[in-house]
Structure 1
């Protein structure tokens, strides 16, 4: 049994590094104190670093991306230090990173009790990212990460809406997919949420979603945020009939809130061998009947 924590993360204004570091530290300590072993923050949670920039730069979409780049190494070091000290696996959301080819990519790192495990870039960009921001999709494909309890994959927001991406992670042996998301409408939230639940059903894995919430008029990138946190599994023997292990009740809380959920991985794995259906095993049959 592992305890998971997914954050409905309020986009608050932290005007200095000290204020931000205190905020992230206290947030992670709160989750760890409740026994959480995996902590998930949402897509673009790292963009709150832009609150430390001058107001004019923060209000400029492209200037804000450039402005946070010097803070990224310090942010990664803080996340690694928290994961090591608290003995947890921390996926602190994502942020745009200027890659070595001069292009921005939406990158999500994973940290563990032994340090940084690596990163996963978002692969498929939304229209806003592609057409307005100029953020590009990842060029390294999908990877999974070994942890003390099993293999974990990351699908960033929109990537959860594409079945073959989750299938790739399942074939790599992932039992849990982390789904950090950032959506500015209720419809956007539901697109990712429905995708996450469908991916859990198809691959007989667990999918943990985290979302940004609240208004941030000071940010050109994160002005409005709507979403819930949730843990989704295949509806089958030993699992909830609707596939929802836990889900935030409030769509847009005023402050950051953790959703805690316990996941019994042994029971989840049994579904693949003893379930009512074998969607994971029967996946290749689609190609035989088409």
Structure 2
């Protein structure tokens, strides 16, 4: 299949007629190359900031614009997906209309995760859709819906091997070559990898209404999470890419019976009680140390762990994250007693170990013994684990644990966040090219801290990422080291990404029931 992305230059709403003419001309140009499918940006017509128009004449012309899109698709025998404002039932939606080779509108997707000022004129719509072609099933989503892991996941579960993402990615920089964005930098690459799908991202370039700077950089992301091709950050241009869609296999590793919280009413979610609880600022300050060392046996582990905890205490840490015990080592009563006897009263520590059944479990302990356990839920040997657990360390700080490849299953982190987790502790043994992108994505899409701990003895790092996906601290890759930083959980309790976009209170759980069955 030959796919063509048309990256447009942004233009103001009062030039909507010129925008419509330019879109039609670009479609005609794309069709000259014998393309099969054309994708245009979010709100290609009439504009993204539609509220700047004094008289909404552009909106009255939407039916006529859609008719012209239909005619172009039919005349050129192409599939056409175009971002446009769309009216239905007295409401205005930020949508993508999909036309087949006969000019019939066969699908439409409405933006659900309204971004910033979208809600001033658009209504929240039912996200995503999947349509059939001779090449295979193709899904559609709109811009900030790509930040919501549930949406792409549902499209994948419906059989989509390619997801079309019409976007107006906003960015900021002093020169175009410096423009970047979380979705471009790591989120959409992680989204493609975790679902094993192609994602075609079509953006605008330039500045609209002297306010919105568009990222440009329209791109094709492969199922491995790699950017195969991309446009410039500042020019109107076309990108054509040939791909072959194969029937997507069933997703492995999911346990839908553990995800009912994804479809529960917002006001019943544990995270809302956590967010709204009154706190003192000191409750939200969790200076944390991630301790990296190698060891030979349980006794050696105990000595090195105690030494690391002592250093963490000197740093006034409230949480010390230890490396997971090596395979074959056991977290027995003697080891626990030794560690607890050397713990200061005002610090918690967490480690992990392999169970006799083949699973893995994190254990949180202090001077008075075990505070709780956080078992893996999606690894071999964890079939009897019946929930994704979250543990409160102290008022203001809740933690959850993920293990190895569990980080690539987005439902785990999402459920943990909805249960109130501020921190995801990732016990990982294998560093890959996607490690950092997965950490950043889980952090930013859930607004939580992510800490990765891995044993020393290999070219790897233990590190922390903040709720915006930025690196907080890291160890060197070649030495035993304690790295530390402040985890101010006010940042993980604020689920407002920008004004008008809240990942908890903006949820419509009715859309996500498919993920629980």
TM-score range, shorter chain: 0.7 to 0.9
Match of 2:190 among 198, 201, 212: 198
Q: Which has the higher helix share?
A: 1
Which of 201, 217, 220 is the aligned partner of 1:209? 201
Deviation at 1:62, TM superposition (A): 6.2
CA–CA distance in structure 2, aligned partners of residues 105 and 32 of structure 1: 28
Measured against aligned partners, the alpha-carbon deviations of 1:157-204 in whole angstroms (never above 9, x if no partner) come to 000111111111111111111001002315995222232222211111
2:63 to 73, 80, 103: 73
Match 1:135 to one of 89, 106, 122: 122
Pairing partner for 1:92 from 69, 82, 105: 82
Task: Judge conservation of contact 1:161–1:191 (CA < 8 Å) in 2.
Answer: no
Residue 42 of structure 2 aligns with which residue? 43
Cα distance between partner residues in 2 of 1:180 and 1:124: 13
Gap runs ≥5 in structure 2: 174-178, 259-376, 379-387, 389-517
Structure number with higher relative contact order (C-alpha < 8 Å, ≥ 6 residues apart): 1
Q: Measured at CA, do residues 136 and 29 of structure 1 come closer, stay the same or move farther in structure 2, by a change above 3 Å?
A: same
Cα distance per residue 1:113-155 (max 9 Å; x no partner): 122113110111112212xx242210x4542111121111111
1:85 deviates by 0.9
Instruction: Give the counterpart of 2:217 among 220, 228, 237.
Output: 228
Does 74-83 or 185-194 show the bigger shift?
Answer: 185-194
CA separation of 1:208/1:84 partners in 2, compared to 1, >3 Å: closer, same or farther? Answer: same
Please state whether the residue corresponding to 1:174 is helix, strand or coil: coil
What corresponds to 2:92 in structure 1? 104
TM score, norm. by length of structure 1: 0.77
Distance 1:103 1:63 in 2: 19
Please tell me whether the aligned partners of residues 176 and 205 of structure 1 are also in contact (alpha carbons under 8 angstroms).
Answer: yes
TM-score (norm 2): 0.45
1:260 aligned partner: 240
Q: Do the aligned partners of residues 69 and 174 (structure 1) sit closer, same or farther apart at CA in structure 2, a change above 3 Å counting? A: same
Deviation >6 Å, runs of 4+:
none
**Which structure 1 segments of 5+ residues have no match?**
51-57, 236-241
User: Quick check: 2:20–2:46 contact (8 Å CA) kept in 1?
Assistant: no
**C-alpha root-mean-square deviation of aligned residues, in Å?**
2.8
Against the structure 1 CA distance between its residues 49 and 77, is the aligned structure 2 distance closer, same or farther, given a 3 Å change threshold?
farther
Higher-Rg structure is 2
Q: CA deviation at 1:68?
A: 1.8
1:281 corresponds to which of 241, 252, 259 = 252
Matched, 1:27 2:26: yes
- Residues 98-127 of structure 1, C-alpha deviation per residue, up to 9 Å, x if partnerless? 432x43211210011122113110111112
Aligned positions, number: 253
Q: 1:229: how far off?
A: 0.9
